[in-house]
């Protein structure tokens, strides 16, 4: 719950109780408790409703091809077995705490424009200018639909819904919310259905899909908590500047997971 909201609820409770107590004392009325109930009831309800608004977890692109644990074609550094174990246990802890957990999944057709192999004379990590000032990084072939590399690398049974992105061969889609052509994924709708106001976000890659998803989430008005220990990036310098940018735009940066804090950030 927001601190100002908590303050308002606390203040109302205090004055509600106080005025009921004074009324009961002055009139020596047996109805005092009844009025106290009438005054406090709605606040109690409000507190109950607000306490039910929990953050929703969005695990970004934790997929075989982005991990060294699975010899991925675009393995990020430090994405070993122990990283995946940590992500799975953190995600399970969120699920056990009653949070909804969504995962995004990079899901490209084989002819995707972001693959260096689909451009003559280009190699992975080269860049091309698509249109005025629009620079596209070319990647090794990764996360091709229905291949092992595209599979989620989190323990099964924790994720309540998977949001796929990057299916259009013409556009890349770092953000979990929309592709570079502006076409929206189902993420926003699903978050609205889940009643999300705040999001806990982590995954791969810090400097690409995590960054784009966090920045879009902030733009859409969600509060965002980024757990950096649960993220891995393509390169260290761009990951650090991505974290700085996300913080500047309003994300709450949590380095190591503090479950209690994350539930109420």
**Active-site residues: which are they?**
61, 165, 209
CA atoms of 197 and 191, how far apart (whole Å): 8
CA atoms of 246 and 225, how far apart (whole Å): 10
Single out the residue of 134, 190, 139 nearest to residue 166, CA to CA. 139
Nearer to ligand VGL, 61 or 225 (CB): 61
Nearer to ligand VGL, 2 or 148 (CB): 148
- What's the angle, vertex CA 207, arms to CA 165 and CA 161, rounded to 5? 35
180 near Zn ion, judged by CB under 5 A: no
Q: Which SS3 state, helix, strand or coil, does residue 231 take? A: coil
Q: Which of 56, 163, 205, 214 binds ligand VGL (CB under 6 A)?
A: 205
- Output phi, psi for 220, to 5 deg: -80, -5
65 near Zn ion, judged by CB under 5 A: no
Instruction: Name the strand (E) or helix (H) holding 225.
Output: strand 223-227
CA atoms of 227 and 256, how far apart (whole Å): 7
Segment near ligand VGL (CB under 6 A); pick from 117-125, 155-163, 180-188, 200-208: 200-208
115 near ligand VGL, judged by CB under 6 A: no
204 binds, among Zn ion, ligand VGL, none (CB under 5 to 8 A by kind): ligand VGL
Number of residues lying near Zn ion (CB under 5 A) = 1
CA atoms of 224 and 91, how far apart (whole Å): 16
CA atoms of 82 and 184, how far apart (whole Å): 33
209 near ligand VGL, judged by CB under 6 A: yes
The residues that bridge with 201 in the sheet, in sequence order, are 58, 226
Q: Which of 83, 102, 115, 139 binds ligand VGL (CB under 6 A)?
A: 139
Assess contact for 153 and 84: CB atoms under 8 A: yes
Over the window 53 to 92, marking each residue x when it contacts ligand VGL by CB under 6 A and - when it does not, the resulting string is --------x----x--------------------------
222 binds, among ligand VGL, Zn ion, none (CB under 5 to 8 A by kind): none
204 near ligand VGL, judged by CB under 6 A: yes
Which residues of the chain form contacts with ligand VGL (CB under 6 A)? 61, 66, 106, 139, 174, 204-205, 208-209
Which residues of the chain form contacts with Zn ion (CB under 5 A)? 106
């Amino acid at each position: 719950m927001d601190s100002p909201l908590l303050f308002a609820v606390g203040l109302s409770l205090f004055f509600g109780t106080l005025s009921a107590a004074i009324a009961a004392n002055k009139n020596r009325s047996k109805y005092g408790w009844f009025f106290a109930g009438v005054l406090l009831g709605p606040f109690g309800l409000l507190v109950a409703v607000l306490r039910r608004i929990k953050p929703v977890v969005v695990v970004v692109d934790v997929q075989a091809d982005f991990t060294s644990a699975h010899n991925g074609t675009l393995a990020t550094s430090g994405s070993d077995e122990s990283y995946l174990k940590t992500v799975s246990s953190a995600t399970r802890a969120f699920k056990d705490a009653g949070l909804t957990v969504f995962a995004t999944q990079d899901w490209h057709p084989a002819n995707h424009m972001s693959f260096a192999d689909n451009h003559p004379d280009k190699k992975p990590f080269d860049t091309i200018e698509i249109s005025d000032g629009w620079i596209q990084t070319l990647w090794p072939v990764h996360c091709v639909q229905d291949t092992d590399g595209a599979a989620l690398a989190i323990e099964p049974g924790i994720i309540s819904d998977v949001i796929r992105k990057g299916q259009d061969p013409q556009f890349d889609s770092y953000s979990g919310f929309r592709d570079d052509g502006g076409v929206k994924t189902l993420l926003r709708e699903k978050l609205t259905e889940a009643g999300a106001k705040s999001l806990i976000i982590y995954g791969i890659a810090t400097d690409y899909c995590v960054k784009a998803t966090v920045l879009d989430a902030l733009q859409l008005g969600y509060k965002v908590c980024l757990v950096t220990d649960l993220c891995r990036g393509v390169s260290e310098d761009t990951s650090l500047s991505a974290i700085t940018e996300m913080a500047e735009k309003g994300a709450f940066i949590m380095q190591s997971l503090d479950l209690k804090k994350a539930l109420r950030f």
